[in-house]
């Protein structure tokens, strides 16, 4: 059993007891290749300083077979890394839990984890952060009058943030890089001095779950080389509805890279903001109801699926918006105001039911809106105002099934020259004879296949009956409903209907029901969840 108090070192293992809040690598003789084991239990805060591994022997910081809980009501961070490099903090020290390190509370204006003091070359994963006074993770070193952290003296390199759960933050879930790439003025030695924040090179943000962040979900700026944001799930972002602070994902000024395979569901602002240098590809993202908070049935104001303009765009650079699925944005699907860029491409996007229909002289502006000065090529997109009311649009499987009913199969343009080889599900981008439109490649090519002939089953909101969504118009011959224990609760042996919507009364309790539906093409069983 690990010691509950003090710091003990045995070989390459360093054990940090419950009474320790400051771990200084110089004081405790921490060297490359060491593992720092944090004793589980409740703590006020933790500060790591002067922890330096190297490019071959990183330092690992891990929970020691239990959950580390950090609750602080007066300190200015939950965990801080100051002047640290080549390390990984991970909550994988207990295989029985997903997140072995938890930051449960920080005071107003403070962050869950802060990477500063010229920290670089690090990885953070399997950490849960909630109820922070500001950001969940804050990663940058503020410029100061000494100039050590300004652009010409410091670069934050090779940082990775993955498999974390961040929720219920007052500010951003992720605040990565400084917001003022173009510089700002501060007083140094009695004189106004323009300072330029450091840049980031080599950033990966992936496989994170983000829920109910007050400001942006993922905000990254000054990442001017090799930045990728992918495979993240964001729900109910920007719940405080603060204008210009409520996007799902934001590539801020000074950034470049790729944003792909992310799921964004319900938020008060734009789904994805692109304000970067250029050479940014946004692909295979599913953006559902940008502009709608999770408690609201009407939009909070103007919000777009994807928005792009010039903040620090390099003249002649390009933006690529490819194979995204955008569902019911409060206003436009994609809006681009970038006059400085050139050769922009908007290909293969699936945009459904934008809220601005009827606002413009041409209906197409509701799907893609751009200034007359924007140099953009728009091809092979699918636009529709129709949207089935029976789909769970927070569920990618339901969105895939609905996509299969649309005329998007093999209707896209080849985008392999843009480096897009896979879809949202990491399937190859050409499963038929050509690329499909939207975030998914459709696996079944036959119009009579089960995937193409989608039938969905839903309960009424008051649990007084169920609805069958037969959008493709198959002839339904027979319907049977069973309890999970196999008891027959309902049957109609002579339906003979091709109606798109069939509704039946049936009193139901909470639980799972099995609905068996026979059509001219198949006999299938569908799971119906009452909750």
Distance, in Å, from the CA atom of 277 to the CA atom of 184, rounded to the nearest integer, reads: 18
Strands (E), 445-487: 456-459, 465-469, 476-483
pLDDT in the model for residue 483: 84
pLDDT in the model for residue 5: 61
Spatial neighbors of 471 by CB under 8 A, at least 6 apart, are 388, 402, 405, 454, 500
pLDDT in the model for residue 268: 94
Question: Considering the chain, what is the average pLDDT of its residues?
Answer: 92
Beta strand 511-519 with 523-530 is antiparallel
* SS3 call for 402: helix
Q: Which percentage of the chain shows pLDDT scores above 90?
A: 75
**Across residues 464-479, what is the average pLDDT?**
86
Compute CA distances 348 → 303, 320, 342, 345, whole Å. Answer: 21, 11, 19, 10
Question: Which CATH number among 3.40.50.1100, 1.10.600.10, 3.40.50.11540, 2.60.40.3080 corresponds to the domain 456-530?
Answer: 2.60.40.3080
Per-residue pLDDT reduced to its tens digit, 176-232: 999 999 999 999 989 999 999 999 999 999 999 999 999 999 999 999 999 999 999
327 touches 357 (CB < 8 A): no
* Distance linking the first and last C-alpha atoms of the chain: 44
Question: Whose structure tokens read 């207990």?
Answer: 94
Q: Is the dihedral of CA 8, 12, 18, 22 positive or negative?
A: positive
- For the record, the structure tokens of 4 come out as 């509950």
Distance, in Å, from the CA atom of 113 to the CA atom of 79, rounded to the nearest integer, reads: 5
**What is the per-residue DSSP string for 85-134?**
EEEEEES-S-TT-S-SEEEEE--BT-EEEEEETT-EEEEEESEEEES-BS
For residue 66, which phi and psi values (nearest 5 degrees)? 165, 180
Strands (E), 238-349: 249-251, 257-260, 263-267, 272-274, 280-283, 286-290, 306-308, 319-322, 325-327, 334-336, 344-347
Question: Whose structure tokens read 């409060």?
Answer: 330
pLDDT in the model for residue 500: 85
Q: How many residues comprise the chain?
A: 531
Beta strand 376-379 with 344-347 is parallel
Say what the pTM is: 0.85
* SS3 call for 245: coil
Distance, in Å, from the CA atom of 29 to the CA atom of 35, rounded to the nearest integer, reads: 12
- pLDDT tier, 123 (very low <50, low <70, confident <90, very high otherwise): very high
Compute CA distances 320 → 275, 349, 435, whole Å. Answer: 13, 11, 16
pLDDT in the model for residue 260: 98
- pLDDT tier, 450 (very low <50, low <70, confident <90, very high otherwise): very low
Asked if pLDDT for residue 34 goes beyond 70, the answer is yes
- pLDDT tier, 37 (very low <50, low <70, confident <90, very high otherwise): very high
Per-residue pLDDT reduced to its tens digit, 474-531: 889 999 998 877 789 999 999 999 888 889 999 888 878 888 888 877 777 777 877 6
**Across residues 381-396, what is the average pLDDT?**
87
Asked if pLDDT for residue 31 goes beyond 60, the answer is yes
- pLDDT tier, 449 (very low <50, low <70, confident <90, very high otherwise): very low
Distance, in Å, from the CA atom of 56 to the CA atom of 201, rounded to the nearest integer, reads: 19
Distance, in Å, from the CA atom of 328 to the CA atom of 264, rounded to the nearest integer, reads: 12
* SS3 call for 397: helix
Distance, in Å, from the CA atom of 81 to the CA atom of 302, rounded to the nearest integer, reads: 38
- For the record, the structure tokens of 63 come out as 């929970």
CB atoms within 10 A of CB 372: 5
The edge-to-edge listing of strands for the beta sheet with 382-384 is 41-43, 68-71, 101-105, 127-130, 165-169, 209-213, 233-237, 263-267, 286-290, 325-327, 350-352, 382-384
Q: How many C-alpha atoms does 447 have within 13 Å on its Cβ side?
A: 7
- For the record, the structure tokens of 216 come out as 């942006």
pLDDT in the model for residue 391: 79
Distance, in Å, from the CA atom of 503 to the CA atom of 508, rounded to the nearest integer, reads: 14
Asked if pLDDT for residue 105 goes beyond 70, the answer is yes
**What is the per-residue DSSP string for 153-164?**
T-EEEEEEEES-
pLDDT in the model for residue 444: 62
pLDDT in the model for residue 275: 95
Q: Which of 154, 146, 207 is nearest to 178 (CA)?
A: 154
Higher-scoring residue by pLDDT: 97, 531: 97
Asked if pLDDT for residue 448 goes beyond 70, the answer is no
Per-residue pLDDT reduced to its tens digit, 279-337: 999 999 999 999 987 666 667 778 999 999 999 999 999 999 999 999 999 999 999 99
Domain-wise residue ranges, the chain: 1-134, 456-530
pLDDT in the model for residue 305: 97
CB atoms within 10 A of CB 27: 11
| Interior/surface letters 391-428, b for 16+ CB within 10 angstroms, e for the rest | bebbebebbbbbbbbbebbbbbbebeebebeebbeeee
Spatial neighbors of 450 by CB under 8 A, at least 6 apart, are 444, 521, 522, 524
Q: Which of 490, 502, 503, 498 is nearest to 521 (CA)?
A: 498
For residue 440, which phi and psi values (nearest 5 degrees)? -110, 145
Q: Which percentage of the chain shows pLDDT scores above 70?
A: 96
Asked if pLDDT for residue 431 goes beyond 90, the answer is no
- pLDDT tier, 473 (very low <50, low <70, confident <90, very high otherwise): confident
């Amino acid at each position: 059993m690990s010691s509950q108090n003090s710091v003990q070192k045995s070989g390459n293992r360093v054990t940090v007891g419950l009474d320790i809040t400051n771990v200084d690598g110089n004081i405790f003789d921490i060297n490359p290749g060491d593992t720092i084991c944090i004793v589980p239990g409740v703590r006020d805060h933790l500060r790591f300083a002067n922890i330096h591994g190297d490019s071959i022997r990183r330092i690992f910081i891990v929970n020691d077979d239990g959950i580390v809980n950090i609750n602080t009501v007066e300190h200015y961070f939950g965990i801080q890394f100051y002047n640290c490099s080549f390390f990984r903090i991970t909550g994988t020290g207990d295989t029985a839990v997903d997140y072995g390190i938890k930051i449960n509370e920080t005071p107003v204006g403070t962050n869950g984890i802060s990477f500063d003091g010229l920290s670089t070359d690090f990885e953070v994963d399997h950490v849960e952060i909630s109820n922070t006074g500001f950001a969940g993770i804050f990663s940058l070193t503020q410029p100061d009058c000494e100039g050590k952290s300004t652009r010409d003296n410091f670069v934050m390199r090779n940082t990775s943030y993955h498999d974390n759960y961040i929720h219920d933050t007052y500010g951003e879930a992720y605040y990565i890089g400084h917001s003022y790439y173009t510089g700002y003025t501060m007083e140094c030695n009695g004189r106004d001095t323009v300072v330029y924040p450091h840049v980031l090179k080599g950033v990966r943000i992936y496989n994170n779950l983000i829920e109910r962040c007050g400001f942006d979900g993922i905000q990254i700026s000054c990442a001017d080389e090799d930045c990728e944001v992918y495979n993240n799930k964001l729900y109910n972002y920007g719940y405080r509805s603060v204008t210009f602070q409520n996007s799902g994902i934001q590539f801020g000024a000074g950034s470049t890279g790729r944003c792909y395979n992310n799921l964004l569901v319900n938020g008060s602002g734009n789904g994805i903001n692109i304000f970067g240098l250029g050479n940014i590809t946004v692909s295979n993202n599913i953006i559902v109801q940008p502009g709608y908070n999770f408690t609201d049935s009407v939009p909070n104001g103007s919000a777009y699926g994807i928005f792009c303009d010039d903040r620090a765009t390099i003249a002649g650079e390009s933006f690529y918006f490819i194979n995204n699925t955008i569902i019911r944005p409060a206003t436009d699907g994609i809006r681009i105001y970038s006059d400085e860029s050139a050769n922009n491409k908007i290909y293969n996007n699936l945009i459904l039911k934008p809220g601005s229909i009827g606002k413009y002289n041409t209906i197409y502006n509701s799907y893609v809106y751009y200034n007359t000065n924007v140099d953009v090529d728009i091809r092979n997109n699918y636009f529709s105002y129709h949207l089935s009311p029976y789909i769970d649009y927070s569920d990618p499987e339901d969105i895939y099934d609905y996509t299969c009913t649309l005329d998007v199969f093999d209707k896209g343009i080849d985008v392999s020259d843009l480096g897009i080889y896979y879809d949202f599900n990491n399937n190859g981008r050409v499963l038929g004879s050509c690329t499909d439109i939207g975030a998914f490649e459709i696996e079944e090519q036959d119009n009579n296949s089960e995937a193409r002939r989608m039938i969905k089953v839903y309960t009424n909101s008051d649990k007084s009956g169920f609805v069958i969504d037969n959008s493709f118009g198959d002839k339904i011959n027979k319907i049977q409903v069973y309890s999970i224990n196999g008891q027959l609760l309902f049957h109609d042996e002579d339906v003979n209907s091709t109606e798109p919507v069939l509704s039946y009364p049936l009193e139901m309790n909470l639980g799972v029901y099995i609905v068996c539906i026979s059509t001219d093409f198949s006999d299938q069983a569908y799971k119906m969840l009452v909750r």
